[in-house]
Amino acid sequence: MLASPSVSSLYDRVRRFIPPAEWLSFEDDIAAIRALKKKRNAVILAHNYQTPEIFHCVADIVGDSLALARRAVDVEADVILVAGVHFMAETTKLLNPAKTVLIPDMQAGCSLADSITPADIALLRQAHPGVPIVTYVNTSAAVKAASDICCTSGNAKQIVEGLGVKKVLMIPDEYLAHNIARQTDVEIIAWHGHCEVHELFTADDVRQLRENHPGVQVLAHPECPPDVVAEADFAGSTAWMSDFVASKKPAQVVLLTECSMSDNVAADHPEVEFIRPCNLCPHMKRITLANIRAALEQNQHEVLIDPAVAHGARLAVQRMLAI
Ligand code: SF4
């Protein structure tokens, strides 16, 4: 298929991140995906960690997991394709049970989601009777169903304090739990899950960055270890990082998070210099233009959730959205 002029013009947005030869290899898939979306009345939700050719050239709704969860509720399309990892597609299906939800690769998982099971939660409830379980959205639907309420990195403090209790269990991200514990009087009991991307950053990385780039603003995701967050100028979800860059317009900035995040924010802020030590998420990178196109052409892979699990998991997500 020949790329239409409108597809070629999309290149302006991403030319700083995609070499011309690579772009040529993308044009055909981008044109096909845009046509398939119309034909199937489909929309594409893309997480901030998706590559620029997906994020800027085929996605309809972009953001962090909270934004995607919220905006998925208002989607009018028949088909929602999630360019992200499996737990995000499950959350989308929970909030849109009547719609067809597709994920291009069923193996797009998450080290945090894999770190805990409903059986682990049952043991936690036995060990801590009566203590509410606040579950990060980076978990399976079955784990959400076994929990009391969900949270994201953007609203975790608000959720923990909104419960009006003295003690909560916060699962599965140990570092997020410890980072939130430093901001609140609520006692937080953590689990031992880690994000395999954010756990790699060290406080020494931050000190080196400051030495090499005096004046650089360092923004850390709260899935980073607490000593990294302590060395940073600001810690917050990917949405907060994006807002920070838009409002403060620092001369130089580093985002301690997944690599594509810097590219996607930099596309809107050419005046800001992004220093780029970053780590790739192998799960997010399973999603490509080619498998998005195949997913829309072949209606694969449909995300389905056992109705018995879906009811409890939906309640946990809806309680979060209500707060
Ligand atoms: S970046 Fe970390 S938390 Fe996000 S999907 Fe990858 S492994 Fe999971």
Asked whether the CA dihedral 152, 317, 81, 10 is positive or negative, the reply is: negative
Mean per-residue pLDDT over the chain, rounded? 95
Q: Identify the residue whose C-alpha is closest to ligand 1 atom 5.
A: 110
The type of residue at 114 is D
| Cis omega (within 30 of 0) for bond into 129 | no
pLDDT tens for residues 250-273? Answer: 999 999 999 999 999 999 999 999
Answer yes or no: is pLDDT of 5 > 60.
Answer: no
Answer yes or no: is pLDDT of 2 > 60.
Answer: no
Question: What is the pLDDT, as a whole number, of residue 199?
Answer: 98
The average pLDDT across 160-164 equals 97
Sequence-ordered list of residues with C-beta below 8 angstroms from that of 110, at least 6 positions apart, any chain: 85, 86, 87, 138, 195, 283
Question: What is the pLDDT, as a whole number, of residue 3?
Answer: 55
Quote the pTM value. Answer: 0.94
CA of 153 to the centre of ligand 1 (A): 12
Question: What is the pLDDT, as a whole number, of residue 71?
Answer: 86
> Which of ligand 1's atoms lies nearest the C-alpha of 257?
1
> Which of ligand 1's atoms lies nearest the C-alpha of 87?
5
Query: What is the pLDDT confidence band of residue 7, given thresholds at 50, 70 and 90?
Result: confident
Query: What is the pLDDT confidence band of residue 16, given thresholds at 50, 70 and 90?
Result: very high
Q: Which stretch of DSSP H or E encloses residue 102?
A: strand 100-102
Annotate 99-136 with b (16+ C-beta within 10 A) or e (fewer).
Answer: bbbbbbbeebbbbbbbbbebebbeebbeeeeebbbbbb
Give helix then strand counts, H and E, for the chain.
16, 12
Ligand 1 contact, 196 CB (< 6 A): yes
CA distance 21 to 15: 11
Question: What is the pLDDT, as a whole number, of residue 231?
Answer: 97
Question: What is the pLDDT, as a whole number, of residue 154?
Answer: 87
pLDDT tens for residues 113-152? Answer: 999 999 999 999 999 999 999 999 999 999 999 999 999 9
CA of 6 to the centre of ligand 1 (A): 33
Question: What is the pLDDT, as a whole number, of residue 72?
Answer: 78
Answer yes or no: is pLDDT of 84 > 50.
Answer: yes
Asked whether the CA dihedral 138, 141, 147, 151 is positive or negative, the reply is: positive
Query: What is the pLDDT confidence band of residue 164, given thresholds at 50, 70 and 90?
Result: very high
Question: What is the pLDDT, as a whole number, of residue 4?
Answer: 59
CA of 39 to the centre of ligand 1 (A): 32
CA of 84 to the centre of ligand 1 (A): 10
Domains present along the chain, CATH in parentheses: 5-109+284-298 (3.40.50.10800), 113-195 (3.40.50.10800), 198-275 (3.40.50.10800)
C-alpha radius of gyration, the chain, whole number: 20
> Which of ligand 1's atoms lies nearest the C-alpha of 281?
6
Asked whether the CA dihedral 166, 172, 174, 177 is positive or negative, the reply is: negative
Answer yes or no: is pLDDT of 10 > 70.
Answer: yes
CA of 196 to the centre of ligand 1 (A): 7
CA distance 148 to 131: 10
Ligand 1 contact, 112 CB (< 6 A): yes
The average pLDDT across 5-25 equals 90
pLDDT tens for residues 234-244? Answer: 999 999 999 99
Question: What is the pLDDT, as a whole number, of residue 222?
Answer: 96
Q: Which of 195, 223, 255 best tests ligand 1's pocket when mutated (most atoms within 8 Å of CB)? A: 195
Count of C-beta atoms within a 10 Å radius of residue 312: 17
The average pLDDT across 202-224 equals 97
